[in-house]
């Protein structure tokens, strides 16, 4: 294995930083990828188009995040096998994973295309934006196989300790999406349809070029097309880790969709403002999300190599760096959230409602770095069941009820709804501290569930 991709030796901070920066770069480009659709539609499309892209992308993000959570099981097992020097187990794992996700992509495509309108109605999309929301979901759903392929390829390389190639893949997609949006939406005036076509075309180009790039890479294991076939044992192994995470993502994102529905009931300006705030929120969470992905791969390799002390030090580094950067981001969002919102819309009402939400949400930039560092650490130990449980508890006992109560108050404020997120995260951190202490008072084989 390449020394740069070996997390079991050398400077902990240096190895984590070297791995995390490309992940962060990819996350920034991924956030820009999603933000460009809203920005271009907001500038060159219609107000109803803003709501349609916001609501439609929320539904598509739910499906994408669930699929990515399932793929996390593959990422963690690859890191574990590399740490244990058992490279021969990787090829059958990848073959089984590719077969599984191809079938999954086909099923998701049918669901998104056939049930686009019921999904939009369920989300209480504003009447003026309903048909546009359906168009966005159907077009993106029709090309969902490319979304699945892109995320699986990126997850495989992160498991190998290579975060540079996923950055290249998303850079390609982002560039194509920007050009597509400018041509189709700004140039041809296709509004939401243009944004959806540009999104899927960008993913398709990225997948094709990534496969060309991969053929030229020297992999630390042998792999061929003949390896791609269903395998019960390997599929069960990555699903054992990924399924609890996927269930958590499904139910947690359903809670976010419910939140979107609560806000949609408050009118088009609130829906647009929340849609804008969501895009800014995706940038706010870049550091925590990058930390979690980095932590999972770093810990998985060190657990496989029997270096638990090194894994625990990595956890402390992640929390400290993430929270420190989060303080700066939180202050910027709390005091200058209106300037950030103005990037996406020229409507004073939309900007004001977005800023209203962001003032409540700002603290999330700090506390999520701590929570996600914990979650990456637990995922690296294959403790995904606890990660699922804490996510569901904080979502359904804290964030969702608090958001609902805030949304039905007279003259409901989006600030109160936004504050539900950091409140739930702090509760999640307390659960993680309890579990971390319990985990080392009653230790078991970190990979015991894998056999």
Window from 134-148, 178-192, 256-270 with minimum mean pLDDT? 256-270
Q: Is the pLDDT of residue 445 over 70?
A: no
State yes or no: pLDDT of 158 exceeds 50: yes
CA angle 100, 101, 103 (to 5 degrees): 70
Angle, CA of 313, 76 and 223, to the nearest 5°: 135
378-437 pLDDT, tens digit per residue, is 988 878 889 888 888 988 899 888 988 888 877 778 888 889 889 999 999 999 999 998
The first and second tokens of residue 210, run together, are 């990534």
pLDDT of residue 2 exceeding 70, the answer is no
- Residue 224 pLDDT exceeds 90: no
For the chain, the 3-state helix, strand and coil shares in percent, each to the nearest 5, are: 85, 0, 15
pLDDT of res. 450: 35
pLDDT of 442 > 70? The answer is no
291 with 376: CB under 8 angstroms? Answer: yes
Q: What is the mean pLDDT of residues 229-248?
A: 86
- Give 270-291 pLDDT, tens digit per residue: 878 887 887 788 788 888 888 8
Burial 347-362 (b: 16+ CB within 10 A, else e): beebbebbbbbbbbbb
Angle at alpha carbon of residue 78, lines to 228 and 222, rounded to 5°: 50
Q: What is the pLDDT of residue 226?
A: 81
Tell me what pLDDT residue 3 has. 56
What is the rounded average pLDDT for all residues in the chain?
A: 84
Distance between CA atoms of residues 427 and 430, nearest Å: 5
CA–CA distance, 247 with 241 (Å, rounded to integer): 11
Cα–Cα dist 324/319, whole Å:
8
Rounded mean pLDDT, 242-268: 77
pLDDT at 8 over 80: no
Residue 374 has pLDDT above 90, yes or no: yes
Please tell me the predicted confidence (pLDDT) of residue 443. Answer: 57
Q: At 95, list the tokens.
A: 């073959």
CA 134, distance to chain mean position in Å, is 23
- Across 28-42, 82-96, 277-291, 321-335, which has the greatest mean pLDDT? 321-335
pTM of this structure: 0.68
Calpha distance 185→190 (Å, rounded): 5
| Residue 396 DSSP class | I
Is the pLDDT score of 222 beyond 90? no
User: Smallest Cα–Cα separation from 253: which of 80, 119, 87, 83?
Assistant: 119
Of 25-34, 239-248, 302-311, give the lowest mean pLDDT range.
25-34
User: For 30-34, 149-153, 174-178, 296-300, which range has the lowest pLDDT when averaged over its residues?
Assistant: 30-34
List the end-to-end C-alpha distance of the chain, in Å, as a whole number.
24
% of the chain beyond a pLDDT of 90: 22
């Amino acid at each position: 294995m390449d020394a740069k991709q070996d997390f079991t030796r050398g400077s902990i901070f240096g190895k984590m930083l070297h791995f995390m920066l490309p992940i962060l770069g990819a996350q920034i480009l991924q956030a820009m990828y999603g933000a460009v659709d809203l920005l271009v539609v907001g500038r060159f499309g219609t107000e109803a188009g803003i709501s349609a892209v916001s609501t439609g992308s929320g539904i598509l993000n739910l499906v994408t995040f669930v699929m990515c959570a399932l793929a996390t099981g593959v990422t963690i097992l690859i890191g574990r096998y590399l740490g244990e020097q058992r490279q021969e187990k990787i090829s059958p794992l990848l073959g089984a994973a590719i077969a599984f996700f191809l079938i999954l992509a086909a099923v998701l495509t049918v669901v998104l295309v056939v049930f686009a309108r019921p999904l939009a109605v369920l989300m209480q999309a504003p009447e003026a934006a309903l048909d546009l929301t359906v168009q966005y979901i159907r077009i993106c759903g029709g090309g969902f196989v490319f979304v699945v392929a892109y995320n699986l390829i990126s997850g495989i390389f992160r498991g190998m300790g290579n975060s540079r190639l996923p950055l290249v893949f998303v850079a390609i997609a982002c560039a194509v999406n920007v050009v597509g949006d400018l041509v189709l939406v700004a140039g041809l005036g296709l509004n939401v349809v243009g944004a959806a076509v540009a999104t899927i075309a960008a993913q398709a180009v990225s997948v094709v070029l990534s496969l060309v790039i991969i053929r030229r890479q020297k992999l630390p294991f042998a792999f061929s097309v003949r390896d791609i076939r269903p395998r019960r044992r390997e599929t069960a192994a990555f699903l054992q880790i990924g399924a609890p995470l996927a269930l958590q993502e499904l139910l947690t994102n359903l809670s976010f969709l419910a939140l979107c529905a609560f806000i949609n009931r408050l009118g088009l300006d609130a829906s647009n403002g929340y849609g804008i705030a969501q895009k800014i929120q995706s940038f706010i969470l870049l550091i925590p999300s990058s930390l979690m992905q980095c932590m999972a791969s770093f810990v998985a390799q060190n657990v496989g190599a029997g270096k638990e002390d090194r894994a625990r030090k990595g956890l402390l580094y992640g929390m400290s760096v993430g929270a420190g950067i989060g303080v700066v981001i939180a202050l910027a969002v709390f005091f200058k959230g209106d300037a950030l919102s103005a990037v996406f819309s020229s409507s004073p009402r939309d900007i004001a409602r977005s800023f209203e939400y962001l003032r409540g949400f700002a603290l999330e930039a700090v506390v999520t770095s701590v929570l996600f560092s914990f979650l990456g650490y637990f995922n690296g130990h294959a403790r995904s069941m606890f990660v699922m449980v804490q996510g569901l508890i904080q979502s359904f006992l804290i964030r969702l009820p608090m958001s609902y109560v805030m949304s039905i108050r007279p003259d409901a404020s989006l600030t109160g709804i936004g504050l539900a997120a950091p409140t739930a995260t702090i509760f999640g951190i307390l659960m993680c501290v309890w579990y971390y202490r319990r985990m080392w008072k009653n230790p078991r084989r970190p990979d015991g569930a894998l056999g």
